[in-house]
Chains A and B, each alone.
Chain A
Amino acid sequence: MTSELVDFTLVSVALLGIGIYGLAVKRNFIRMLFAVEIIINAANLNIVAFGRFLPHSGGQTMALFSIAIAAAEVAVGLSLIIVAYRMYQNVDIADFRSLKG
């Protein structure tokens, strides 16, 4: 164990920044999903790092829950992409202004 807690938090901050950049700049629905995934991974990394240095098993348990819920979120997000693509023939979110059923 040679790396310290602050190193892991700095990597996590970098991933968070990149994810927020992606969410703010990209207009492609699939790329925005990538950005959300990166942000979720930054959060998981932070949780596990703090759990390791406390040390407490709650961090890893919470990270496992978080990963499983992210899987559910991605399944629903991808099917939303497919539905929206079928309606508009595009993945540009500027075209999704009227998301009616």
Chain B
Amino acid sequence: MADAVFLALAVITIGSAIAALEMRSLIYGSIALMGTLGGVAGFFFLLDAPFVALFQIAVYVGSIAVLILFTVMLVKRELIFKKIEDKRRKFAGIGLMLIIMVSLGAVFLDSGIKTITTDEPAPNFRDIGIDFVTYYWPALILMGLLLAGSVTGALVLAKREDVENDQRAS
């Protein structure tokens, strides 16, 4: 059964996920999203995957959340606080969420994974490194190219053509 640390992490993760979507201000919402991402990193620690957890903290909490915060700051002030949604859609969404949670949860609780436990040691980061440079090396190279391509694409997309370089400097 779940222990206290697990329950606390679950409350933090799920609560701040709800807060990220429901907070009035987008800035507080993105800070709450940081809470969700950090909570998932805590789950990775519980799952004996410290390497993935630190990667999650470095990439998600460190860069993605900060990138989102900066984008929010570029948006007009009244749009940050404006809530655009209608009531009927919201009730339908809550219904959809409950249907998904209850049905998938019932499937998981009814299935055989309830009895799965393990006493074997967790795979350590040495195995992951060996995986990366042996079996998955083409994927690793592709991932590097994809990251470089996406960053270049993001820069090209966000570039302003109507502003000259000397105007930008002043």
In the complex, the answer to whether A72 meets B147 with C-beta atoms within 8 Å is yes
- A63 CA to B131 CA, complexed, in Å: 13
Q: Which single member of B30, B89, B114, B118 contacts A52 (CB below 8 Å)? A: B118
Specify the chain B residue showing the minimal Cβ separation from A93: B84
- A34 CA to B56 CA, complexed, in Å: 16
How many A residues touch B, CB cutoff 8 Å? 75
Instruction: Give me the interface of A with B, judged by CB distance under 8 Å.
Output: 1-11, 13-22, 24-28, 30-31, 33-35, 37-38, 41, 44-45, 48-49, 51-61, 63-65, 67-76, 78-83, 85-86, 89-92, 94
Q: Which residues from 51 to 67 on chain B have a C-beta closer than 8 Å to any C-beta of chain A?
A: 51-52, 55-56, 59-60, 63-64, 67
Given A4-B116, A25-B93, A83-B158, answer yes or no on A13-B108 (Cβ-Cβ < 8 Å): yes
In the complex, the answer to whether A74 meets B92 with C-beta atoms within 8 Å is no
Q: Which single member of B2, B49, B68, B100 contacts A7 (CB below 8 Å)? A: B2
In the complex, the answer to whether A2 meets B13 with C-beta atoms within 8 Å is no
Residue pairs across A and B with Cβ atoms less than 8 A apart, 27 shown, are A2-B3, A6-B113, A8-B47, A13-B101, A13-B104, A21-B21, A24-B89, A24-B93, A25-B85, A28-B26, A31-B26, A31-B29, A34-B29, A37-B36, A38-B36, A53-B116, A57-B127, A60-B49, A61-B136, A65-B139, A67-B60, A69-B143, A70-B59, A76-B154, A79-B158, A83-B158, A86-B160
